[in-house]
């Protein structure tokens, strides 16, 4: 224990005054004579003993009163465990991720508690201390050190951010700061397990730096969030039905019963569902999507889950209106059945080329290429088709009456391809309606179907997974390939070989082939943590940049790579929601952004566990306070010491009260 004003301790000599008064009494005694004083003598002995005890107690109370009164003026204190030096540099990292919106106390968010802790740190250190304020946004103001007043103003501007940072990202950002390095780092966070990451081996090897862990203990909530959502058929053509599947996750330790889930499309409620989710588990539900939606439709999956509300909405963009690009390569200039099938300009962009005059740039942009009745395939076209398939696109081969097998093998890679020996037509077997290829194609499942007949010209051996088979168990339409999908018919679509082209089955099969070839340019949603997104932009002209317009207008860094537009997301400038992609006055698409899913996993590390993960070094300390008041007392005790003068005054008043009570009530 030390004293701020030790000179006041000379006043302890005043303790001699009550002692002297006690030893030397100036009262004169009066002698009284009695005829018999035998009994009076006994009474005098008893009274004297009690009086002597009372005087001793009063003396002790007076001495203690004077002692603690003098000590109060001397201002005793317990010295600080860490000394405050001049010209100190301090880094304040305040975690402002979305998980910090969860209450830490009743009606107090974890972020607000963290900001209060940061203010308490600023109040402790001398005025010449410089501060670096760092948040998950890595905003420009964190590049340099600020004065006390400047950093106090910056703390009032801290808001929740959709960005999560790992322990290594924060440390790297601190190391790359301009100016002098910080001697102390105050890490104020909820230490979320899902976003903390694995620290590097030499994370805080420099012993001249001290790391102070300030944990924010949140009220443990039972969080529910939409884990993901997807369309059963990513592309809708011909008025097909579609279904939106949603997977929900319960991170709580108790099951959730009868949770109401709502689907809204373009701000109109389109469906509801009631789900029950076991503890620490997931469940799925589905919504039917109506046809005839607007070009760019905004879908929102929502539910009520208090107090964690930042992940109660899942935003989805439904871009149903993109046209399918179909390219036909044929041998004769006459119109074909393929052109008639894909002639609907509201759904398809169709181009037809002769085999000797193919536009290869159009070929690479196609979603579906139909090789229609070619006897031979020239080597340049073979190479272009192989590159097309390698990029993950879809190719349909309709053979001619006399195909060159080597050319077809070079395209498909089917070694066993040969001419069929059939000389008669066979009826097709009923398609397997449980096959995902035929899902949602037929309104009713009926076995009484008028199926086409066909005579094959190509044979590639038995194929149990064939999409269409003849009744003699030979394949008629098969699918090959892993990267790109290659479909092959066993016969031409001419009438002398098959009536498939005039059958009811032809149109839905061709539409389904086209829809499987469609590459979704815009995903249903993106996460705000994704650094780059790519959109198709083959119609852009000029140098004017593409911009996002939604909750705010953002012009991202962008570059064109062929027909693709690659954009780097400015993550600290965007929030979850919908954004229209605009170029001049044209709307290129609608994109939806959602919070990062790991942010919804609210399990926390304890500060001691974090210290252990960081190597349990001596220059890492832990604060265990849960409120701003207790944190203030703890940090002052560490850096300013613990003042004891208040306790000295309390004890002095207590012994003064004891003296009064002794004089008044002790007879």
One domain for residues 342 and 480: yes
Res 302: pLDDT: 96
Separation between Cα atoms, residue 667 and residue 660, nearest integer Å:
13
Centre a 10 Å sphere on the Cβ of residue 260 and count the other Cβ atoms it contains: 11
Res 444: pLDDT: 57
Residue closest to 523 by CA, chosen among 601, 594, 595: 594
Stronger pLDDT, 181 or 201, i.e. the higher one: 201
Residue by residue, DSSP assigns 335-370 as --HHHHHT--TTTEEEEEEETTS--HHHHHH-SEEE
Res 539: pLDDT: 63
CATH number at residue 297: 2.60.40.10
Stronger pLDDT, 94 or 137, i.e. the higher one: 94
Residue 206 lies in a domain: yes
Residues 6+ apart with CB under 8 A from 529: 162, 163, 164, 571, 596
* Parallel, antiparallel or unpaired: strands 532-536 and 564-568: antiparallel
Res 420: pLDDT: 87
Q: Report pLDDT digits (tens) over 553-581.
A: 888 888 887 667 888 887 667 888 999 98
Of the ranges 101-105, 199-203, 372-376, 420-424, the best mean pLDDT one = 372-376
Q: How confident is the model at residue 519 (pLDDT cuts 50, 70, 90)?
A: low
Of 8-12, 300-304, 488-492, 501-505, the one with minimum mean pLDDT is 8-12
Q: Where among 594, 610, 627 does a domain terminate?
A: 594
Cis-peptide, bond into residue 307, ω within 30° of zero: yes
Of 5-14, 34-43, 230-239, 597-606, the one with minimum mean pLDDT is 34-43
The predicted model gives 258-272 an average pLDDT of 93
Separation between Cα atoms, residue 68 and residue 406, nearest integer Å:
108
Res 238: pLDDT: 46
For residue 338, what are its two tokens? 């393929």
Separation between Cα atoms, residue 480 and residue 484, nearest integer Å:
8
Long-range residue pairs from 50-54, CB within 8 A, at least 24 positions apart, any chain: 54/662, 54/666
Q: Where among 558, 577, 594 does a domain terminate?
A: 594
Residue closest to 373 by CA, chosen among 489, 467, 508, 514: 489
Q: Is it the case that residue 313 has pLDDT exceeding 90?
A: yes
One domain for residues 383 and 478: yes
Residue 342 lies in a domain: yes
Residue closest to 567 by CA, chosen among 606, 521, 620: 521
Coil, strand or helix at 388: helix
The predicted model gives 496-514 an average pLDDT of 88
Q: What is the residue range of 68's domain?
A: 2-79+644-665
Residue 560 lies in a domain: yes
The predicted model gives 172-190 an average pLDDT of 78
One domain for residues 265 and 407: no
One domain for residues 581 and 620: no
Residue closest to 522 by CA, chosen among 363, 327, 299: 299
For residue 290, what are its two tokens? 């109506």
Q: How confident is the model at residue 39 (pLDDT cuts 50, 70, 90)?
A: low
Using left for φ > 0, alpha for ψ between -120 and 50, and beta otherwise, residue 146 falls in beta
The predicted model gives 324-351 an average pLDDT of 88
CATH number at residue 476: 3.40.50.880
Stronger pLDDT, 609 or 6, i.e. the higher one: 609
One domain for residues 590 and 610: no
Under 8 Å between Cβ of 75 and 4: yes
The predicted model gives 269-278 an average pLDDT of 93
Residue 271 lies in a domain: yes
Of 177-181, 245-249, 564-568, the one with minimum mean pLDDT is 177-181
Q: Is it the case that residue 408 has pLDDT exceeding 50?
A: yes
Residue 84 lies in a domain: no
For residue 325, what are its two tokens? 């690009």
For residue 570, what are its two tokens? 């400015």
* Parallel, antiparallel or unpaired: strands 485-489 and 394-398: parallel
Residue 157 CA, chain-centre distance (Å), reads 22
The predicted model gives 160-183 an average pLDDT of 80
Separation between Cα atoms, residue 62 and residue 47, nearest integer Å:
22
Of 83-92, 290-299, 622-631, the one with minimum mean pLDDT is 83-92
Q: Is it the case that residue 119 has pLDDT exceeding 70?
A: yes
Provide the b/e sequence for 287-314 (b: ≥16 CB within 10 Å): bebeeebeebbbbbbbbebeebebbbbb
The DSSP element (H or E) to which 607 belongs, if any, is helix 607-613
Res 193: pLDDT: 92
Give the chain's domain count. Answer: 5
Stronger pLDDT, 252 or 12, i.e. the higher one: 252
Residue 661 lies in a domain: yes
Angle at Cα 579 formed by Cα 578 and Cα 582, nearest 5°? 155
The DSSP element (H or E) to which 316 belongs, if any, is strand 313-318
One domain for residues 439 and 366: yes
One domain for residues 570 and 512: no
Residue 140 lies in a domain: yes
The predicted model gives 510-539 an average pLDDT of 78
Residue by residue, DSSP assigns 243-273 as EEEEEEEE-SSS-EEEEEEEEEETTEEEEEE
Under 8 Å between Cβ of 94 and 170: no
Q: Please, what is the end-to-end C-alpha distance for the chain in angstroms?
A: 40
Q: Is it the case that residue 281 has pLDDT exceeding 90?
A: yes
Res 65: pLDDT: 83
One domain for residues 369 and 460: yes
Res 369: pLDDT: 93
Q: Report pLDDT digits (tens) over 202-224.
A: 776 666 678 889 999 887 778 99
One domain for residues 174 and 277: no
Res 276: pLDDT: 94
One domain for residues 214 and 129: yes
Residues 6+ apart with CB under 8 A from 484: 388, 389, 390, 391, 392, 393, 394, 395
One domain for residues 407 and 331: yes
Res 35: pLDDT: 62
pLDDT averaged over every residue in the chain: 83
Stronger pLDDT, 22 or 316, i.e. the higher one: 316
CATH number at residue 175: 3.40.50.410
Under 8 Å between Cβ of 210 and 192: no
Strand partners, 91: 132, 185
Residue 120 lies in a domain: yes
Q: Where among 498, 517, 536 does a domain terminate?
A: 517
One domain for residues 459 and 570: no
Angle at Cα 52 formed by Cα 50 and Cα 58, nearest 5°? 105
Residue closest to 209 by CA, chosen among 125, 83, 91, 130: 91
What proportion of the chain, given as a percentage, has pLDDT over 70?
Answer: 84
Q: Is it the case that residue 187 has pLDDT exceeding 90?
A: yes
Residue closest to 130 by CA, chosen among 151, 111, 110: 151
């Amino acid at each position: 224990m030390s004293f701020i004003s030790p000179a006041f301790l000379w006043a302890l000599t005043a303790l001699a005054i009550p002692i002297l008064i006690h030893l030397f009494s100036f009262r004169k005694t009066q002698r009284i004579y009695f005829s018999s004083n035998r009994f009076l003598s006994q009474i005098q002995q008893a009274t004297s003993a009690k009086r002597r005890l009372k005087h001793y107690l009063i003396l002790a109370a007076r001495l203690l009163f004077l002692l603690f009164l003098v000590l109060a003026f001397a201002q005793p204190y317990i010295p600080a465990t860490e000394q405050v030096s001049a010209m100190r540099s301090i880094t304040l990292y305040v975690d402002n991720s979305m998980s910090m919106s969860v209450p830490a106390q009743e009606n107090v968010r974890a972020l607000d508690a963290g900001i209060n802790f940061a203010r308490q740190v600023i109040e402790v250190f001398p005025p010449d201390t410089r501060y670096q304020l760092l948040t998950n946004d890595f905003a420009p103001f964190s590049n340099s050190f600020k004065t006390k007043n400047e950093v106090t103003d910056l703390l009032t501007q801290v808001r929740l951010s959709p960005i999560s940072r790992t322990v290594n990202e924060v440390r790297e950002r601190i190391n790359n700061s301009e100016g002098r390095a910080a001697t102390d780092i105050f890490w104020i966070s909820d230490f979320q397990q899902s976003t903390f990451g694995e620290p590097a081996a030499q994370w805080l090897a420099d012993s001249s730096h001290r790391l102070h862990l300030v944990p924010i203990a949140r009220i443990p909530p039972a969080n529910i969030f939409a884990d993901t959502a997807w369309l059963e058929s990513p592309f809708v053509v011909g008025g097909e039905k579609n279904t939106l599947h949603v997977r929900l996750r319960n991170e709580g330790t108790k099951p959730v019963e009868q949770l109401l889930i709502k689907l809204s499309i373009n701000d109109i409620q389109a469906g509801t569902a009631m789900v029950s989710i076991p503890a620490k588990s997931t469940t799925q539900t589905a919504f039917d999507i109506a046809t005839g939606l607007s070009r760019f439709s905004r879908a929102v999956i929502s539910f009520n889950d208090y107090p964690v509300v930042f992940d109660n909405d899942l935003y989805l963009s439904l871009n149903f209106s993109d046209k399918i690009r179909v390219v036909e390569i044929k041998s004769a200039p006459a119109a074909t059945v393929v052109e008639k099938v894909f002639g609907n300009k509201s759904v398809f962009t169709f181009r037809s080329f002769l085999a000797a005059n193919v536009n290869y740039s159009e070929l690479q942009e196609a979603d579906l290429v139909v090789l229609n009745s070619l006897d031979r395939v020239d080597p340049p076209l073979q190479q272009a088709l192989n590159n097309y398939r390698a990029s993950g696109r879809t190719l349909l081969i309709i053979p001619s009456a006399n195909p060159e097998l080597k050319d077809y093998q070079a395209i498909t890679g089917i070694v066993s391809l040969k001419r069929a020996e059939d000389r008669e037509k066979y009826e097709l077997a009923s398609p397997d309606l449980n096959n995902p290829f035929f899902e949602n194609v037929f309104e009713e499942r009926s076995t009484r179907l008028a199926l086409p007949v066909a005579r094959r010209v190509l044979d590639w051996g038995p194929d149990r997974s064939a999409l269409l088979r003849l009744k003699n168990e030979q394949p008629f339409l098969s699918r090959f390939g892993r990267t790109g999908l290659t479909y092959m018919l066993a016969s031409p679509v001419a009438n002398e070989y098959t009536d498939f082209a005039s059958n009811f089955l032809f149109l839905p099969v061709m539409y389904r082939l086209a829809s499987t070839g469609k590459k979704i340019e815009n995903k249903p949603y993106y996460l705000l943590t994704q650094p780059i997104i790519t959109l198709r932009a083959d119609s852009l002209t000029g140098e004017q940049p593409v911009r996002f317009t939604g909750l705010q207008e953002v012009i991202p860094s962008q570059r064109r790579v062929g027909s693709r537009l690659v954009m780097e997301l400015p993550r600290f400038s965007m929030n979850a929601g919908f954004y229209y992609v605009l170029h001049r006055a044209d709307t290129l698409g609608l994109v939806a952004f959602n919070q990062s899913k790991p942010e919804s996993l609210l399990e926390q590390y304890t500060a001691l566990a974090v210290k252990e993960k960081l190597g349990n070094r001596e220059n890492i300390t832990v604060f265990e306070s849960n409120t701003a008041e207790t944190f203030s007392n703890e940090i002052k005790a560490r850096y300013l010491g613990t003042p004891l003068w208040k306790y000295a005054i309390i004890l002095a008043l207590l012994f003064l009260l004891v003296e009064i009570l002794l004089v008044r009530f002790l007879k």
